[in-house]
Amino acid sequence: MTPSEIRPEQSIELLKALHILTRDGKLNQDSRRKLKQVYHLFQFIEPLLARLLETNPAFCVVDHGAGKSYLGFILVDLYLRHQAPAARMIGIETRPELIEQTTALARDLGFSQMQFLNDSVANSITSNLLPEHVDLVTALHACNTATDDAIRFGLAKQARFMVLAPCCQAEVATVLRKHKAQQLKDPLAEIWRHPLPTREFGSQVTNTLRCLQLEAHGYQVTVTELVGWEHSLKNELIIAEHKGPPKPHTIARLQALLERLGLQELTERFFVPTVLSGAK
């Protein structure tokens, strides 16, 4: 990939600010990898933005755990400022120094559609600084339970789409370790008897539970690769689209899985009883 292959609508100043391009506008090996990942991710999200635009030109995207807001800036740069000038991009981040940096960069670039809030994913669910409804929720490499908070945020805000790339999922593995002696009575527990498999199995179980939770709330879920395995082992991308009413039979399967694996103490995180009362 050479600089001539950068999309013509792309802001060169933004790519420099995000260190995707060097100060003199060139690509080195590391920046080539970053740019390839950015464009790969954009290919997943661009069709969702186009579908939102068809029904609501003033749609709202919320990016949780925004960090330096690579994703938010890229979405605005490649799509919102050209195709959806009435849309909004809100980045939520707990580190105030990053909020200052991203706010200043958006101002310098003239990206007036962007807003940044200093808050946690969990607290943002009830924040009066956010709209009652959002259209697309993203959370890339949201560590451990932050992804679950992002899902709860999306459910509370009735998001049409959610795009999630989980990371550092330790909670389920911790619970599996705690009850390992009792669980080993079940031959299935041999899968996570040793420490490394416990961590990896815990990560897979976590994403399985998240997918079931979303499906129980009427979402259609797709799980794919975020980037090639040569770039990252934290590689699952969960894309969810709201399709219909809640599905009580799916949440029953979720509860059964929690019980089979001895994860009942995590019921509150993954099992949302209100979905049953809302089902017809």
Domains identified in the chain and CATH numbers: 43-277 (3.40.50.150)
Q: Report the pLDDT value the prediction gives residue 169, as an integer from 0 to 100.
A: 76
pTM listed for this prediction: 0.89
Paired tokens of 113: 């559609």
pLDDT of residue 280: 38
Residue pLDDT, tens place only, 193-221? 888 888 889 889 999 999 999 999 999 99
65-85 per-residue burial string, b: 16 or more CB within 10 A, e: under 16: bbbbbbbbbbbbbbbbbeebe
Look at residues 217, 218, 222 and name the one whose alpha carbon lies nearest to residue 237: 222
Enumerate the β-bridge partners of residue 103.
none
Contact 172, 160 (CB under 8 A): no
How far is Cα 107 from Cα 208, in angstroms, rounded to an integer? 40
Report which DSSP code applies to 77: I
Q: How far apart are CA 230 and CA 140, in angstroms?
A: 18
Q: What is the pLDDT of residue 277?
A: 45
Q: Is 24 helix (H, G, I), strand (E, B) or coil?
A: coil
Cβ-based neighbours of 268, under 8 Å, separated by 6 or more: none
Q: According to the model, what pLDDT value does residue 234 have?
A: 59
The answer to whether the beta carbons of residues 201 and 191 sit under 8 Å apart is: yes
| Cα gap 49→43, rounded to integer Å | 11
3-class state of residue 216 by DSSP:
helix
Report angle CA 103, 69, 61 to the nearest 5 degrees.
95
Pull the structure tokens for residue 165: 């790339």
pLDDT tens per residue across all 280 residues of the chain: 444 568 888 899 998 898 888 888 787 777 777 777 778 889 999 999 999 999 999 999 999 989 889 899 999 999 999 999 999 999 999 999 999 999 999 999 999 999 999 999 889 999 999 999 999 999 987 777 888 899 999 999 999 999 998 877 788 888 888 887 777 678 888 888 888 888 889 889 999 999 999 999 999 999 998 865 444 445 789 999 999 999 989 988 999 999 989 899 998 888 755 544 444 3
